[in-house]
Amino acid sequence: MNEFKPRNFIQNIIDEDLEKNKEIKRIHTRFPPEPNGYLHIGHAKSICLNFGIAAEYGGLCNLRYDDTNPSKEDLEYVESIEEDVKWLGFDWEDRKYYASDYFEKMYECAEELIKAGKAFVCDLSAEEIRAYRGTLTEPGQESPYRNRSIEENLDLFRRMREGEFPDGSRTLRAKIDMASPNLNMRDPVLYRILRATHHRTGDKWCIYPMYDYAHPISDALEGITHSICTLEFEDHRPLYDWVINNLDLGAKPRQIEFARLDLTNTVMSKRKLRALVEEGVVDGWDDPRMPTISGIRRRGYTPEAIRDFCERIGVAKANSVVDISLLEHCIREDLNAKAPRVMAVLRPLKVIIVNYPEDQVEELPAENNPENPEMGTRMLPFSRELYIEQEDFMEEPPKKFFRLAPGKEVRLKHAYIIKCENVVKDEKTGEIIELHCTYDPETRSGLGQSNRKVKGTLHWVSAAHAIKAEVRLFDYLFINEGEEEVLNPHSLERLSSCMLEPGLKKANPGDKFQFLRQGYFCVDKDSTPEKLVFNRIVSLRDTWAKLQKK
């Protein structure tokens, strides 16, 4: 940790707790996902925070599935969550827990509350409960079942468990205060009747605890000292404390809320992300355009970049929206040092060097990463027929176009200066088919024979040696229109005849490169030795760095 970094408010609270409360021997946090979808970049913030705090204080962090809502949960999600947390670089060791493991204990606690006169079985329907609840300005009304005897409550609650009553017909509610200014304290529901097969407990239970009841009990049973959650739970904290204080569970965890991550050009709720998957708007949860951790990983982001991003956004007590260009800045910074530079032509235009010998091939040395000389060099074949980027040629260029144009010169990276002599067009369509150029043999890069300089430098590949690949370019899945994020109909562009330098033939899924002048790219999981597929992770233009300079 950087000792000059200012402490955030959570660290301040923990420092103070450690100072005041000598009973805290070790900081213990948890990451509590509900297995009802894939994790997204917002969860990464929570993961980095919870595991990060534990590591910083020499404490522990548990992975706990908050699986109290059986109808939406699935094993597929459990598996993806574990893969994502590990990939981010965190380790729960042997502390993987499920809230459902505590169902029996939670049930016992509920009986305890009933016996203490602090909970009652209520026969109001969900709608009636809502109607009785009151509003922010008006107090609620007490349930007519609120004053049942302890014996009757116990009997009814046991029969709820036994499956005697239909779904939704009764609830167990805490007896707190229907006049409380906090609506969460107006006799909140603790248990509901729900016949749903749970992915772990099967059909053992037909009553399920509510989140606000299950969460503090799970925290206490695991000896969590600080239960860090997002801001929308702030109003639930009094209920969290009520559960902790009215049960004798030993530990007294403390809930601390922080602002959730919100990113521009992104939707971040699992519900909305699931809809994109189910409606086929994207190609699964790991579509490279998705803000899910699996999508970001497939796109080519590194765990280092995500952790760096989470560090930079910090934690605050007020909600705000982070510009997605910061996330992009983080991956550029990471890959700038790590990714080999290669040449790839995305939209090829044939160039024939008319004064270059027909059968000659030269091997030209090229550095793999100027930022990191240890990455060495490779040899690039140069020959009479090449490809350059279509957009690097203009027949009638504007003034500051320092690329190729009739009669103009450019340098080919790692090779020679060439001059465009002739433009060959399709007679019928007028489309440019190829360029005829000459090269200056005295200008070979790196040999120091010529110090002649020209303004533009282009990337290229040798036509006979190039390998063909598909490259997928992405735009944001959502664009901001006023207050709203609307779906961008042009978020994916597939280029199917890209030409890459021959060394890339050996690239494997997950390998990352900088394509000179085009950005950072990652080999997609759809890639095969016969047909390479690359994703553009991010272009080279760093809009974040620009914003910072202004």
Q: Would you name the residues annotated as active-site residues?
A: 34, 260, 270
Report, in Å, the least distance between residue 193 CB and ligand ATP. Answer: 23
Q: In the chain, what is the greatest distance between 2 CA atoms, to the nearest angstrom?
A: 102
**Out of 260, 350, 413, 436, which residue is the one contacting ligand ATP (CB under 6 A)?**
260
**Of 29-58, which residues contact Mg ion (CB under 5 A)?**
34
CB 497 within 8 A of CB 468: yes
Contact partner, 296, from Mg ion, ligand ATP, none, Cβ < 5-8 Å per class: none
Q: Which is nearer to Mg ion, 285 or 474 (CB)?
A: 285
Total binding residues toward ligand ATP, as defined by CB under 6 A: 15
Q: How many CB atoms lie within 10 A of CB 231?
A: 14
**Out of 121, 229, 458, 537, which residue is the one contacting ligand ATP (CB under 6 A)?**
229
What does the alpha-carbon distance between residue 242 and residue 230 come to, in Å, rounded to a whole number? 19
CB 213 within 8 A of CB 157: no
Interface stretch with Mg ion, choices 26-34, 246-254, 438-446, 528-536 (CB under 5 A): 26-34
User: Is position 269 an interface residue for ligand ATP (rule: CB under 6 A)?
Assistant: yes
Contact partner, 171, from Mg ion, ligand ATP, none, Cβ < 5-8 Å per class: none
What does the alpha-carbon distance between residue 102 and residue 436 come to, in Å, rounded to a whole number? 75
At 334, which amino acid appears? Answer: D
Tell me the backbone φ, ψ of residue 537, rounded to 5 degrees. -70, -50
What does the alpha-carbon distance between residue 167 and residue 341 come to, in Å, rounded to a whole number? 61
User: Is position 33 an interface residue for ligand ATP (rule: CB under 6 A)?
Assistant: yes
Q: Which is nearer to ligand ATP, 127 or 278 (CB)?
A: 278
Task: Please name the residue that has the structure tokens 């009304």.
Answer: 141
Contact partner, 42, from Mg ion, ligand ATP, none, Cβ < 5-8 Å per class: ligand ATP
Contact partner, 170, from ligand ATP, Mg ion, none, Cβ < 5-8 Å per class: none
User: Is position 231 an interface residue for ligand ATP (rule: CB under 6 A)?
Assistant: no
User: Is position 320 an interface residue for ligand ATP (rule: CB under 6 A)?
Assistant: no
Q: Which is nearer to ligand ATP, 321 or 447 (CB)?
A: 321
Q: What's the per-residue H, E or C state across 210-257?
A: CHHHHHHHHHHHCCCCEEEEEHHHHHHHHHHHHHHHHCCCCCCCEEEE
**77-83: long-range contacts, CB 8 A cutoff, minimum separation 24:** 77/35, 77/36, 77/37, 77/38, 78/35, 78/199, 80/38, 80/39, 80/285, 80/294, 81/33, 81/35, 81/38, 81/39, 83/294
Contact partner, 463, from Mg ion, ligand ATP, none, Cβ < 5-8 Å per class: none
User: Is position 42 an interface residue for ligand ATP (rule: CB under 6 A)?
Assistant: yes
Question: Length of the chain, please?
Answer: 550
Which residues contact Mg ion (rule: CB under 5 A)?
34
Q: Residues interacting with ligand ATP, by CB under 6 A?
A: 32-34, 42-43, 45-46, 66, 229-230, 260-261, 268-270
